[in-house]
Amino acid sequence: MLGEYSDLYLKIDVLLLADVFENFRDVCMRAYNLDAAHYFTAPGLSFDAMLKFTGQKLQLLHDYGMLLMFENGQYIIFKNEYIYIIILFIFIGIRGGLVQASKMYTKANNTKTPGYDETKEKSWIIYQDCNNLYGWAMFQYMPYGGFNWVEPTLNGLNDLDATSPIDRVYEVDVSYPPRLHSIHNDLPFLPQNSVPRGSKVRKLMATFEKKENHIIHYRNLQQAIKNGLIVEKVHRVITSQIGWLNILS
């Protein structure tokens, strides 16, 4: 009896899934003239659909080996060192996602809460659920070519905004003034990968330590400076052309 139930389940599952996928193939062929069966993943299909829809030509950084940046903490140098350094520069700036419990306990104090203390400052607890983060990111201006090194300086940083045609990524040393520690204690700016004391595992940590050779996008750097962080030195700056994927919005 159990075997018959299993056979029935498998038939329903396989046949239903096959029907759904064949319908999905038809939809993709009508919309994009692309066959979903020719792709390993949905992101691969959507990426090709995006390129076909926009007609944008992206500057490719060649040689897969260039992406292999570290081997036991040592840099691997390849034939085209110029392109390698650009890829290395960008990939080091990818640090992952920050997950932490910044504050274990908090208590609201306002007229609508029990035990309201009018002698203390009013406070509220707000629940925020930020969704469509990937969608929002894809609507931003993104680089497509013209990758070049420029003079390592902050000159022109304040002239850039979210819709500027030029993109910049900086490598900087940044210090965190002590006067900001209590204000930013819940979520310090510029998290970095490091090994905490007493551990052997590298983690993404938000701390007040000095950031050296920190690779950061110009919009994040603008935000950090606006909130009081100090750039002590600019090591390198890479610029590129941006503004294409946002046309989908």
pLDDT digits (tens, 9 = 90+) for 30-61: 999 999 999 999 989 998 998 898 888 887 65
Region label for 194, one of left (φ > 0), alpha (ψ between -120 and 50) or beta (otherwise) = beta
* Model confidence at 72: pLDDT above 60: no
Interstrand relation of 74-75 and 70-71 (parallel, antiparallel or unpaired):
antiparallel
Please list the residues that pair with 145 across neighbouring strands: 241
Q: What's the pLDDT at 88? A: 63
Average pLDDT over residues 78-93: 58
CA distance 24 to 45: 12
Output the pLDDT for position 194: 86
Asked if residues 170 and 221 have their Cβ atoms less than 8 Å apart, the reply is yes
Over pLDDT 90: what percentage of the chain? Answer: 39
DSSP 3-state helix, strand, coil percentages of the chain (rounded to 5)?
35, 20, 45
pLDDT greater than 90 at residue 124: yes
Q: Identify the top-confidence range among 7-21, 160-174, 220-234.
A: 220-234
Residues 236, 147 contacting (CB under 8 angstroms): no
**H or E element in which residue 15 lies:** helix 2-32
Q: Tokens 């040393």 identify what position?
A: 173
Q: What is the pLDDT of residue 79?
A: 42
Average pLDDT, the chain: 83
Domain boundaries of the chain, sorted by first residue: 1-55, 57-92, 101-249
Give the pLDDT score at 242.
79
Stated pTM of the model: 0.72
Per-residue pLDDT for 215 more than 80?
Answer: yes
Is pLDDT of 86 > 70? Answer: no
Separation of alpha carbons 53 and 45, rounded Å = 12
Which is more confidently placed, 102 or 121? 121
pLDDT of residue 40: 94
80/62 Cα distance (integer angstroms) = 9
SS3 137: helix
